[in-house]
Amino acid sequence: MARIRKNKVQEVPAVSTASLPDIIFTLLFFFMVSAKMKDQPPLVQQINPEAIESRKLSKQDLSATIWIGQAMNTSLYDPMIQLDNKLISADEVEEVQAFIRESMLNIPYEFRSEFIVTVKADKNAQTGLVREVLYQAQQGNVYPDWPLRVNLESDEKTYD
């Protein structure tokens, strides 16, 4: 005896989307971890001097960066100081105090003892101006009983 089959339309099973949120969050986490934070672009010309000994800093968010050099987009030949995105002239060096104070107070209290001031001075910058910037940074220290840590950035010197 022959069997008669009914012509049933076979349905395609639905794609399971149960693991989709896991995949999306894994990708989001990967891109957050692997992305590099953009640094402030320098507004002054800078050629770093060579160093005899150097080491890398580990916590960039616990530092304030000060650039010293000639302004890039102007015809001025006077040395300029860059505090984040703000350019000041050498005559306004007292503003470094307020910049250091503000930078220190913007980080959590427990990490303030690890705060570092990074000075990126041009190779041809006047030594007196660099010294005055360092003095004003010391005066801007919120906690006088904590020593202000200063990093002078330079190019690494390689020996062949």
The parent domain of residue 152 ranges over: 61-156
pLDDT of 159 reads: 42
27 domain-assigned: no
Give pLDDT tens digits for 42-62: 777 767 667 666 655 556 568
Residue 128 lies in a domain: yes
Which residues pair with residue 86 across a beta bridge? 83
Structural domains in the chain (count): 1
Sign of CA dihedral 86, 120, 132, 104: positive
Instruction: Give alpha helix (H) positions in 7-61.
Output: 20-34
Task: Evaluate whether 147 touches 104 at the Cβ level (below 8 Å).
Answer: no
48: left (phi over 0), alpha (psi -120 to 50) or beta: beta
Which tokens belong to 83?
Answer: 């505090």
Residue 112's pLDDT is what? 82
Q: Is residue 83 part of a domain?
A: yes
Q: pLDDT band at residue 16, thresholds of 50, 70 and 90? A: confident
Read off the tokens for 20: 């989709």
- Any domain includes 22: no
| 82 domain-assigned | yes
- Domain harbouring 103, CATH code: 3.30.420
State pLDDT tens for residues 106-147.
888 888 888 888 888 888 888 899 999 999 999 888 887 788
